[in-house]
Amino acid sequence: MGFDLRRPFWGRSPSDELSRMSQRCGALIEEIDTPVDLESLLARVSTKCQRPIIPIGTVMPPEGPTGLLMRTPDEIVIFFSTNTSKLHQNHTVLHEIGHLIFEHRGITDLDLVRSRLMFPDIDPSVVISMLQRTAYSDEQEAEAELFASVMGMALHEWRPTQAEWIVPDNIAPVVERIQKVLGSPY
């Protein structure tokens, strides 16, 4: 791949923690065999997770997250902010993929009201456990950021083959409700 993650790539000695994260990140990147583009990476991680990963762009509030990972029994949905640069959108998707491949489990702080707005027909406790987002530990965030940064450098530039990600019909109503809660004008 060209990167030795056991050594710092910015020229300084890393802390023991950063060195450990770098080694773990490097091992996971080697395991998935660096693909040539983000779509190939999504396909490989989908296979590893044994369910499709669906990236969906949406407008997110400036003070909110730029990405959101939703795991369901049938698919994994990565919401990413479209009100930012393409480079940042790609980094956000890579960051959320990092949470997946590191098998991070978030500490959910989604409240009952918002979970009922997104999924009015589902028990809010189920919604909260499905989303598991917004409060990963600092170490988990650092690992996901490191993965996104290194994988982004390895991929160089990503150009989607389609203008937009297609939202599958079976989850379109859910996506619409989530976009409304997040403040999307679409």
If DSSP codes are grouped into helix, strand and coil, which group holds residue 177? helix
If DSSP codes are grouped into helix, strand and coil, which group holds residue 49? helix
**In a domain? residue 128:** yes
pLDDT attached to residue 75: 87
- pLDDT above 70 coverage of the chain, percent: 71
* Count of other CB atoms within 10 angstroms of residue 118: 22
Question: How far apart are the C-alpha atoms of 120 and 114, rounded to whole Å?
Answer: 10
pTM, to two decimals: 0.65
Are 44 and 35 in contact by the 8 Å Cβ rule? The answer is yes
Residue 98 confidence class, pLDDT cut points 50, 70, 90: very high
Distances (CA, A) of 156 to 36, 53, 107: 9, 21, 32
pLDDT attached to residue 94: 94
Residue 136 confidence class, pLDDT cut points 50, 70, 90: low
What is the tally of structural domains in the chain? 1
pLDDT of 8 strictly over 50: no
**Residue-wise over 88-112: b if at least 16 C-beta within 10 A, else e?**
ebbbbbbbbbbbbbbebebebebee
**In a domain? residue 18:** no
**In a domain? residue 1:** no
The pLDDT tens digits of the residues spanning 146-155 come to 889 888 877 7
**In a domain? residue 11:** no
Is 141 buried (19+), middle (13-18) or exposed (0-12) by CB count in 10 A? middle
Choose the weakest-confidence range: 12-16, 39-43, 46-50, 127-131: 12-16
Nearest to 167 by CA among 184, 152, 155: 184
Nearest to 133 by CA among 103, 100, 101, 110: 110
pLDDT attached to residue 56: 93
pLDDT of 7 strictly over 60: no
Residue 109 confidence class, pLDDT cut points 50, 70, 90: low
**In a domain? residue 73:** yes
**In a domain? residue 6:** no
Calculate mean pLDDT across residues 135-142. Answer: 72
Higher pLDDT pick, 1 / 104? 104
pLDDT of 182 strictly over 70: yes
**In a domain? residue 9:** no
**In a domain? residue 4:** no
Domain residue limits at 102: 33-181
Calculate mean pLDDT across residues 146-168. Answer: 71
